[in-house]
Amino acid sequence: MFEVLEADGTHIGIFCSDYFPRDGKRSGAWSSSFRSQSNIGGEFITPFVYNVGNFAKPTADKPPLMSMDEVETLFHELGHGLNSPFGNTVYSGSRRVPRDFVELPSQIMENWAREPAVLKTYALHYETGEPIPQELIDKIESARHSNQGFMTVEYLAASFLDMDWHVLTDTSERDVAQFEKESMDTIRLIPEIESRYQSTSLGHISSSGGYSAGYYSYIWAAALDADAYRAFKETDLFNKDLAAFRENVLSMRSNDTMT
Ligand SMILES: [Zn+2]
């Protein structure tokens, strides 16, 4: 549990995390809140945000040792979480973020997770406390683009599948496997690649999370976050003067649960 403070010490919210799996817990990672920010009649209510993950648990002789993927997921969900304490709205939920945009604050954080200067501050050897060696940082960097073509296509295939279900106007019963095949044939998916998800396991397709007909938003936001991150790369990774990022991005919060 963390209290989130302004630089001058003003309380702006509570952040708590639930990072380890346990019996009965849903899989995956997401960000949501117990209490939303609002400011009705001059009464400023600060938010209570939480991040959930299912990361590697500590063992009897080792602390929790996370993979690079898990670290990126942690940074990703933290980005969603930061949307709330920086929010400044009158009515709770009155400034919902368009789905096209909702992954920008989360995905931009993944850039910092991989930055050598940032890695050296948190990726410390669990026994010696030594920062991660440059050799490993170089490996992370060179592995980053490995298989990106395949990964992007399998992601896009699932995005098309999601959209194909949502543009249906004929609601008669249909065979799911046949529908998927037709959907993938339309985009001429090559047999070497499969959609990242089958319809019955693509949670984003259903309306519950707000991503229905919006699975594409991750790649749309990737274009936006690459552009936004450039503003930091071109100046300073820890540029506190880039206030526009807080005002125009992080303060635009969403009350939906985000994954
Ligand atoms: Zn997300």
Alpha carbon distance 4, 1 (integer Å): 10
CA of 118 to the centre of ligand 1 (A): 21
CA of 113 to the centre of ligand 1 (A): 15
State yes or no: is 77 an active-site residue: yes
CA of 47 to the centre of ligand 1 (A): 19
Return the closest-CA partner of residue 34 out of 53, 15, 21, 19. Answer: 15
Question: Residue 202: what pLDDT?
Answer: 75
Question: Residue 38: what pLDDT?
Answer: 84
Alpha carbon distance 156, 23 (integer Å): 33
Token pair recorded at residue 14: 């509570």
- What are the tens digits of pLDDT across the range 56-98? 999 999 999 999 999 999 999 999 998 888 887 777 765 566 7
Q: Which of 77, 103, 110, 180 is catalytic?
A: 77
CA of 178 to the centre of ligand 1 (A): 30
Question: 154-158: long-range contacts (C-beta < 8 A, 24 or more apart)?
Answer: 154/193, 154/194, 154/195, 154/196, 155/196, 155/218, 155/219, 156/187, 156/216, 156/219, 157/184, 157/187, 157/189, 157/193, 157/194, 157/195, 157/196, 158/195, 158/196, 158/197, 158/202, 158/215
CA of 3 to the centre of ligand 1 (A): 22
Alpha carbon distance 78, 30 (integer Å): 9
CA of 75 to the centre of ligand 1 (A): 10
Q: What is the mean pLDDT of each run of 10 residues along the chain (259 residues)?
A: 94 95 94 88 91 95 94 95 82 68 90 94 96 95 90 95 92 92 95 90 70 87 93 91 80 63
Distance of CA 95 to the CA centre of its chain: 19
Question: Residue 156: what pLDDT?
Answer: 96
Distance of CA 6 to the CA centre of its chain: 23
CA of 172 to the centre of ligand 1 (A): 33
- What are the tens digits of pLDDT across the range 23-56? 999 989 999 999 888 888 889 899 999 999 999 9
CA of 13 to the centre of ligand 1 (A): 20
